[in-house]
Amino acid sequence: MTTAIGTPGKSGRTGDADVLIIPMQEDDDSYLSSLLYVERPESDNPIIYTVTNLELYDFVHNSNINAEIREQILSTFLYFDKEVYDNKDFAHLPADLYAEMPLKEGETSKSFMITSTESTDPQGLHYNTICVVNNHCTRTYVCDYGSNCDHCLKECESVNCYTAGGGGYEGPGTDGPGDTGNPGEGNGGGTGSGECNRGGWYRIIPPNGCGGGGDVETPCQNINNKQKDTKYAEKYNALNQSNIFSMNRERGFFERQSPPSNNLGSTFIQLDGPEGSSGLGLPDNISGIVGLLHSHNDENGVIKIFSPTDVRTFINHFLPQANSYLGSYGQAYTTVVTSFGSYTLQFTEGTHPGGINYNTWEQWNTWYKEKYEQLIKNENLTKANVEKVFTQFLKEVVNINGLEVYRVTKNTAVRLEYNGKDNPVKETPCPVITP
């Protein structure tokens, strides 16, 4: 059965036509199934279309349809997906839509994160709006505090807002016109079994996939799976070497997942930072990059655990890519390998925590730098203190539910948690991996 999930309303004018949009949902579906799209609803000859989730891909990529209409229809799906299911990250969006957002070099589609939504009712016309972060960087840097890279963060971000269709989420409503379609135009309000294969291409299908079946893996299981993966293990072992720690730069390997449609798995690509630096630069095209292993060397002043930028990159880039390419934020990871030990970040929540902007990152850096410089000044930069300050940083400064840090080896993992200033770090071992 199909139900209306919002209050219908005019979304305003697109060209010379008023538009009425009615969002629809199939019972038990965890995504917006379809919407009725009516041009000139108050005229004697309204034109009625039905756009299902299954049809949306072809609709918004059809250059014969006005770009404003395509953008508004797509924004409506994204608006309700954010309002009803709290999804924030969207990808694979047509390159000719959302003109304010430049197409990244090497990419054929756009992606963004919704930061806020708004519903207004000027002059009796109901408007919904989505606002998204627009990052104009041509290159994404992974820089530790103290490095000399350009930190393309503050000046390169802006927020753009786009009009979606009418209606505000009020929970499941009355039965809607599920089989209504425009003669010769629509295919009805519902969707077929092919939805799992084609619907949700912009990432509205939940992490568990179609039907919501399957168990969500724990962080220990995710780490275990990585440690048993021969490609990951090879890169970890390559970094966990004394000659790597004695280098005057960082080395790393990022993991790029192939698109879900081709089932080719992932590849690991080596990165080397400039000599004398403490940072790595990701490639211009970050599509499919779900994780990173990298080293921190033994140079004076280098902190042998994650930097604030490592955490920000994990949240802003690896989490959305893992959800987009692997269907779960929990599949994202970042691992740092040092002579003190190795550490991995994991995320356990089913929704994205929101992007970390420049000002927040700057506040993180200030706190982090002050705490670790105090340890250095007092000659107290021990492994135990490094772990304690970092777990305090995660708990009290970053303060994101589900963000966890693990001390790892090639076959073990221990969760680390801040336990107060007068207590040692709380350690919770994962089950030991057996060959």
**Percent above pLDDT 90 for the chain:** 30
Together in a domain, 187 and 235: no
Rounded Cα distance between 277 and 14, Å, is 51
434 within domain boundaries:
no
Together in a domain, 71 and 143: yes
Q: Best-predicted range by mean pLDDT among 178-182, 359-363, 392-396? A: 392-396
pLDDT per residue over 158-197, tens digit each? 677 776 655 433 333 323 323 333 322 332 222 222 333 3
Instruction: Give the closest residue to 429 by CA, choosing from 405, 412, 404, 409.
Output: 412
Q: Is 25 exposed, middle or buried (0-12, 13-18, 19+ CB in 10 A)?
A: buried
The two tokens of residue 343 are: 């550490």
Q: What is the pLDDT of residue 150?
A: 43
Find residue 404's DSSP bridge partners: 346
pLDDT per residue over 208-252, tens digit each? 343 333 345 688 888 988 998 999 999 999 999 999 999 988 999
Together in a domain, 7 and 108: yes
Helix (H, G, I), strand (E, B) or coil at 76: helix
Rounded Cα distance between 173 and 27, Å, is 11
Q: What is the pLDDT of residue 168?
A: 39
The per-type count for the chain, helices as H runs and strands as E runs, is: 10, 19
Query: Domain end: 212, 229, 257, which one?
Result: 212
Together in a domain, 80 and 41: yes
Q: What is the pLDDT of residue 173?
A: 31
- Cα dihedral 148→149→155→156 (10° resolution): -170
Say what the pTM is: 0.59
Confidence band of 155 (pLDDT split at 50, 70, 90): very low
What is the domain range of residue 169?
2-148+155-212
- Measure the N-to-C terminal CA separation of the chain; round to a whole number of Å: 50
186 within domain boundaries:
yes
18 within domain boundaries:
yes
94 within domain boundaries:
yes
Positive/negative CA dihedral, 81, 103, 50, 130: positive
Together in a domain, 400 and 251: yes
Phi-psi label, residue 68: left if phi above 0, alpha if psi -120 to 50, beta otherwise: alpha
Q: Is the pLDDT of residue 342 over 90?
A: yes
Q: Which of 21-35, 60-74, 102-116 has the lowest mean pLDDT?
A: 21-35
Confidence band of 65 (pLDDT split at 50, 70, 90): confident
Number of domains in the chain: 2
Query: Domain end: 187, 212, 237, which one?
Result: 212
Together in a domain, 291 and 382: yes
The two tokens of residue 406 are: 């693990």
What lies within 8 Å, CB to CB, of 379 at 6+ separation is: none
Q: Is the pLDDT of residue 268 over 90?
A: yes
Together in a domain, 31 and 72: yes
435 within domain boundaries:
no
Contact (CB, 8 A) for 39 and 47: yes
Together in a domain, 109 and 233: no
Instruction: Give the closest residue to 92 by CA, choosing from 114, 129, 61, 120.
Output: 61
Together in a domain, 11 and 101: yes
Together in a domain, 58 and 132: yes
Confidence band of 32 (pLDDT split at 50, 70, 90): low
Place of tokens 């970042």: 334
Q: What is the pLDDT of residue 136?
A: 55
Together in a domain, 303 and 386: yes
Rounded Cα distance between 213 and 323, Å, is 16
Instruction: Give the closest residue to 280 by CA, choosing from 150, 142, 137, 147.
Output: 142
Instruction: Give the closest residue to 291 by CA, choosing from 308, 316, 314.
Output: 314
Higher pLDDT residue, 266 or 41?
266
What ranges in 86-218 are assigned the alpha helix state H?
195-198
Query: Domain end: 192, 212, 232, which one?
Result: 212
The two tokens of residue 134 are: 């627009």
Q: What is the pLDDT of residue 435?
A: 53
Rounded Cα distance between 421 and 385, Å, is 11
Task: Return the beta strands (E) in 206-295 as ranges.
Answer: 251-257, 266-272, 279-281, 289-295
Higher pLDDT residue, 43 or 408?
408
Together in a domain, 206 and 285: no
Instruction: Give the closest residue to 162 by CA, choosing from 68, 66, 274.
Output: 68
| Average pLDDT, integer, range 339-360 | 90
